Chain A
């Protein structure tokens, strides 16, 4: 099992949801946690103006998605996120990152069920 964390552009969330829905089996998968985060990588904030004065915010708002995946689905989940999040025409700085992390266990709180079946 892997935990897939992806930081993407806010406006690409729906595209990522659609491509994940296409590749992930309803039985395995498709549950998603989303939150709004701030940070920066190579990309800085979007330029704004304050009474004619340019402002360059140091942090930019991004959307972070978290999804737990069984091993056979990891590659296609990652590829689906890339497909959905990459800016059309070959990608741009600021499209985001995906982190794939080993996942020790999963517990479904309602039943106490554990492991890959609980994903």
Chain B
């Protein structure tokens, strides 16, 4: 069999994109790590870093096989186990890119998705329960969902659901699952005890740095995802996705500042960082399907809606520590639906008067919500009954850094 020839530009861009998506994981560690209390900075950052180690192994052993092997409901091909049948010269279809590069690109998505969930679990989940949970979650929830939406024989893909870079697969799935596990865990002890909210972030400078790295890495996340729709990959759709990503993040950052200024009189640094991420989340499913002017609207709406969603948690009584649901779940669902409103390529959406795509998008969101919600409830129950999800009261009070890891994040005042 003759192999299609390599497209050097596309391969270079996919290698670059893969590295950029991996950089988002330390970015997320900083983003989340800065928001927790000083005693939990390491354990919170570890949740993201551990995903690189755990899912990094799982992905080559079985994850890629389940997500991108042949099959209608779940992929499987023994030749993909441990990547044994993928030679370094094997090409990815007609994309002009070696398949191993695609394996790595998708592997970084698989790593960051469970790490997003950790934001809702911070400051109280046990490390071994977390590791067991993300291993099960990635294998039994992420891989099938990715297969349905992204593999060419997946049923949602064939139905025509658009999810350019993971609004449903990554953000809705992670956000909804984060909410479910947070409900299983219950609120942190200070919130259970009632009283004024007195938990201060240890270092918002880390959070801003992390938001900056996420923004940078997101260009790889979105513009690299042109691999699914266009050959050569490094082409006009990649350029479109790159542009909409920038536009939505900027519009959302600005919108969050304005909403916050209106709501309580101050535009905060955490608010700007949150808005940037909300905009990036919302543009993810739409990136290669909408005009830059639509990205302005999607980004702006994302901040308004996510800001409102974040305010809800206090009233509803669940403790989504760092708003993984409020930003990723809500922002991802909003973006997936707005994709059906604003899309112009490869199909026209509601703005062109056609409701069909919006309906398909709603099905995609619904499937992601139901499948990840129910699946996560089962996994959370299983892990809770076997390993116990939550650390002891004493560990939680003393902080997870010293209790679980035997380390402290800050020794700045000691010689």
Contacts and interface: CB of A to CB of B under 8 A. Distances in A.
Interface of A: 45, 48-58
Contacts of B35: 50
Given A51-B271, A51-B310, A57 B198 contact: yes
29 contacts: A45-B200, A48-B200, A49-B260, A49-B264, A49-B268, A49-B270, A49-B271, A50-B35, A50-B197, A50-B270, A51-B271, A51-B307, A51-B310, A52-B260, A52-B307, A52-B311, A53-B310, A53-B311, A54-B197, A54-B264, A55-B197, A55-B198, A55-B199, A55-B200, A56-B196, A56-B197, A56-B198, A57-B200, A58-B198
Contacts of A45: 198, 200
B262 to A, nearest CB: 11
Given A53-B311, A55-B199, 4 more contacts: A52-B264, A53-B197, A53-B310, A56-B197
A36 to B, nearest CB: 9
Nearest to B199: A55
B383 to A, nearest CB: 28
A52 to B, nearest CB: 5
Interface in B241-277: 260, 263-264, 266, 268, 270-271, 274
A46 to B, nearest CB: 10
A55 B336 CA distance: 33
Interface string B178-203: 00000000000000000011111100
B314 interface: yes
Contacts of A48: 200
A50 B201 contact: yes
A52 B200 CA distance: 13
B396 interface: no
A58 B37 CA distance: 13
Nearest to A36: B413
Interface of B: 35, 196-201, 260, 263-264, 266, 268, 270-271, 274, 307, 310-311, 314, 323
A49 B311 CA distance: 12
Nearest to B197: A55
A47 to B, nearest CB: 10
A50 B310 CA distance: 10
A49 B268 CA distance: 8
Nearest to B313: A53
A38 to B, nearest CB: 11
Contacts of A52: 260, 263-264, 271, 307, 310-311
B44 to A, nearest CB: 15
B199 A51 contact: no
Please give me the 3 A-B residue pairs with the lowest Cβ-Cβ distance, nearest first.
A56-B196, A58-B198, A57-B200
A58 to B, nearest CB: 5
B197 A51 contact: no
Contacts of B271: 49, 51-52
A49 B266 contact: yes
A51 B323 contact: yes
Contacts of B323: 51
Interface centre among A51, A56, A57 (most CB of B within 10 A): A51
A53 B268 contact: no
B202 to A, nearest CB: 12
Contact of B274 (A51, A54, A58): A51
Contacts of B199: 55
A102 B359 CA distance: 80
Contacts of A53: 197, 310-311, 314
Nearest to B268: A49
Contacts of B311: 52-53
Contacts of A58: 198
